[in-house]
Amino acid sequence: MSIEELTAQLPAPKPLSLRECALFLDLDGTLAPIAARPQDVRPDRRRTDLLERLAEVTGGRLAVVTGRTLADVDRILEGRVIAVAAVHGLVRRDSRGAVDATSQHPKLREAAEAFRAFAARDSGLLVEDKGLSIALHFRLARQHADAARVCARRLAAETGLTLQDGDMVEELRTPGPTKADSVRAFMAEPPFHGSCPMFLGDDTTDEDGFTAARELGGAGILVGAPRATGAKYRLAGVEAALAWLEAAL
Instruction: Please identify, among 151, 173, 195, the residue that sits at the C-terminal boundary of a domain.
Output: 173
Residues 112 and 43 in one domain: no
Residues 169 and 193 in one domain: no
Taking Cα atoms as reference points, which of 9, 6, 68 lies closest to residue 205?
68
Q: Which residues of 148-165 are buried (b: 16+ CB within 10 A; e: fewer)?
A: beebbeebbeebebbebe
Residues 140 and 198 in one domain: no
pLDDT at 5: 66
pLDDT digits (tens, 9 = 90+) for 163-205: 998 999 999 999 999 999 999 999 999 999 999 999 999 999 9
152 touches 68 (CB < 8 A): no
Q: Is residue 4 part of a domain?
A: no
Query: Do strands 84-86 and 133-137 pair parallel, antiparallel, or not at all (unpaired)?
Result: unpaired
Q: Which residues belong to the active site?
A: 26
Q: What CATH number corresponds to the domain at position 77?
A: 3.40.50.1000
Q: Is residue 146 part of a domain?
A: yes
Residues 68 and 121 in one domain: no
Q: In which residue ranges of the chain is pLDDT below 70?
A: 1, 3-6
Instruction: Please identify, among 148, 173, 198, the residue that sits at the C-terminal boundary of a domain.
Output: 173
148 touches 115 (CB < 8 A): no
Residues 38 and 136 in one domain: no
Residues 22 and 123 in one domain: no
Taking Cα atoms as reference points, which of 2, 163, 198, 150 lies closest to residue 88?
163
Q: Is residue 10 part of a domain?
A: no
- Residue span of the structural domain in which 116 resides: 108-173
pLDDT at 1: 61
Residues 94 and 214 in one domain: yes
pLDDT digits (tens, 9 = 90+) for 99-113: 999 999 999 999 999
pLDDT at 8: 72
Residues 88 and 188 in one domain: yes
pLDDT at 2: 72
Query: Do strands 162-166 and 133-137 pair parallel, antiparallel, or not at all (unpaired)?
Result: unpaired
Residues 167 and 132 in one domain: yes
The pTM of this model reads: 0.96
Residues 22 and 90 in one domain: yes
Residues 65 and 188 in one domain: yes
pLDDT at 85: 98
Distance, in Å, from the CA atom of 59 to the CA atom of 237, rounded to the nearest integer, reads 26
